[in-house]
Amino acid sequence: MPGESVLPLLAGTVANMLLEPLLLRAKGKCMMTKRSCWMLSLPLFFVAGFAGRVFALAGQTGVAPTPEIFAPGVISGPANDGAPTFSPDGSTLFFTRSAAQWTVILESHQVKGEWTKPVLAPFSGEWPDSSPAMSPDGKFVVFQSSRPVVPVSAADDHAKPHVVSNLWRVYRVGAGWSEPKRLPEAVNLPGASIWKPSVAADGTIYFTGIDAKGQKRLYASAYKEGAYQQAEPLAFSDGTTLDVDPEIAPDGSFLVFVSAGRMAGNPKDHLFLVLKKGDGWGPVTAIHFADEEKNGYSTDDEPRLGVDHRTVYFSSDRVVPVHFPRTQEQARKDLERMDLWDNSNLNVWRVSISGWVESGA
DSSP per-residue string spanning 238-275: -SSS-EEEEEE-TTSSEEEEEESSSSTT--S-EEEEEE
Mean pLDDT, residues 24-51 taken together: 37
Cβ within 8 Å of residue 294, ≥6 positions away:
none
- Other CB atoms within a 10 A radius of the CB of residue 165 amount to 18
Q: Is the pLDDT score of 34 beyond 60?
A: no
Residue 155 has a pLDDT of: 52
C-alpha closest to that of 289 among 308, 268, 307, 306: 268
Residue 151 has a pLDDT of: 74
In percent, how much of the chain has pLDDT > 70? 78
**With respect to CATH, is domain 68-359 assigned 2.115.10.20?**
yes
Residue 46 has a pLDDT of: 38
Q: Is the pLDDT score of 42 beyond 60?
A: no
- State the Cα–Cα distance between residues 198 and 221, nearest whole angstrom: 11
The domain limits of the chain are: 7-61, 68-359
Cβ within 8 Å of residue 73, ≥6 positions away:
340, 341
Q: What digits encode the pLDDT tens for the residues 275-306?
A: 999 999 999 999 999 878 677 789 999 999 99
Backbone angles phi, psi at 180, to 5 degrees: -60, 140
H/E stretch holding 283: none
